[in-house]
């Protein structure tokens, strides 16, 4: 395991957010620096794998963005240009993403290099066609995924969050973890984000909310 991340406490869980083909090089919504080759000389995969295999966590959870075809977060559904802001049928403001992580497609699968065998649980999110879910805990309509209850039943009091994307799903998952009462850290060295400015804003927002961000 990398030595720059402090060891996890006994009642801690690791949440690995959306390390899926569509968010990595060659994917529909490739996030820069997420691939194993980037940032030079390596990307987040070896770090995430090291944490999963040797981080000393009591539980390891993977989240998986898993949308039905025609999902409300797709530009093709919203009828606005890519990355513009549209409005869902439920009336929510929504960033228009390329079609991505469609259930049953290769893009929705975990990156083949991810040590998925070390996961105790997999939480799928964004499965409701009408609501997006950057968070692994609950969607934009307020429906819980069950992650909070799973962690609480296991006696977890602290969570570390890693994965993709720092400025979207990692941020939202960490904020909800904190709101659910878990002592929450974001391990930036094992995260990749969409845009530099967004990452800086996300770090500020996380810290203001009481989440510990480890550089």
- Binding to ligand VGL by residue 66, rule CB under 6 A? no
From the candidates 18, 99, 132, 140, give the one annotated as an active-site residue.
18
Radius of gyration (C-alpha) of the chain in whole angstroms: 16
Distance separating alpha carbons of residues 108 and 19, to the nearest angstrom: 9
- Binding to ligand VGL by residue 169, rule CB under 6 A? yes
Work out what residue 133 binds among Zn ion, ligand VGL, none; the CB cut-off runs from 5 to 8 Å by kind.
none
What's 168's DSSP letter?
I
What's 211's DSSP letter?
-
Nearest-5° angle of CA 192, CA 197, CA 203? Answer: 65
From the candidates 65, 169, 171, 191, give the one annotated as an active-site residue.
169
Considering only CA atoms, which of 56, 196, 63 is closest in space to residue 121? 63
Contacts 24+ apart (CB under 8 A), 32-40: 32/192, 32/194, 33/192, 33/193, 34/164, 34/165, 34/192, 36/111, 36/113
The question of whether 167 is a catalytic residue gets the answer no
Q: Which stretch binds ligand VGL (CB under 6 A): 35-43, 54-62, 80-88, 160-168?
A: 160-168
- Binding to ligand VGL by residue 97, rule CB under 6 A? yes
Parallel, antiparallel or unpaired: strands 212-214 and 183-192: parallel
Residue closer to ligand VGL by CB (options 58, 73) is: 73
Q: Extract the tokens encoding 99.
A: 């079609």
The residues in 47-106 that bind Zn ion, with binding defined as CB under 5 A, are 65
Interface with ligand VGL (CB under 6 A), residue from 57, 115, 168, 182:
168
CB of 157 vs Zn ion, minimal distance in Å: 29
Cis peptide before 41 (omega within 30 of 0): yes
- Binding to ligand VGL by residue 165, rule CB under 6 A? yes
Residue closer to ligand VGL by CB (options 58, 102) is: 102
Residue closer to Zn ion by CB (options 133, 156) is: 133
Supply the residues annotated as catalytic: 18, 125, 169
Q: Can you give the binding site for ligand VGL, defined by CB under 6 A?
A: 18, 23, 65, 73, 97, 134, 164-165, 168-169
Binding footprint of Zn ion on the chain (CB under 5 A) = 65, 126
């Amino acid at each position: 395991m990398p030595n720059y991340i402090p060891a996890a406490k006994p009642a801690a869980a690791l949440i690995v957010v959306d390390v899926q083909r569509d968010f990595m090089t060659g994917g529909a919504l490739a996030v820069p620096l997420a691939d194993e080759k980037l940032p030079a000389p390596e990307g987040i995969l070896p770090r995430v794998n090291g944490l999963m295999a040797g981080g000393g966590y009591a539980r390891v959870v993977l989240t998986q963005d898993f949308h039905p075809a025609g999902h409300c977060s797709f530009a093709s559904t919203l009828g606005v240009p890519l990355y513009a802001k549209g409005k869902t049928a439920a009336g929510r403001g929504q960033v228009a993403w390329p079609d991505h992580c469609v259930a049953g497609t290769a893009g929705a699968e975990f990156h083949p290099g991810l040590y998925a065998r070390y996961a105790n649980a997999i939480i799928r999110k964004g499965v409701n066609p009408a609501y997006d879910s950057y968070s692994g805990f609950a969607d934009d309509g307020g429906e819980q995924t069950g992650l909070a209850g799973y962690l609480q039943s296991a006696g977890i009091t602290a969570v570390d969050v890693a994965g993709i994307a720092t400025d979207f799903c990692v941020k939202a998952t960490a904020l909800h973890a904190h709101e659910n009462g878990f002592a929450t850290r974001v391990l930036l060295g094992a995260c990749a984000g969409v845009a530099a400015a967004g990452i800086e804003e996300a770090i500020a927002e996380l810290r203001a909310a009481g989440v510990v961000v480890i550089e």
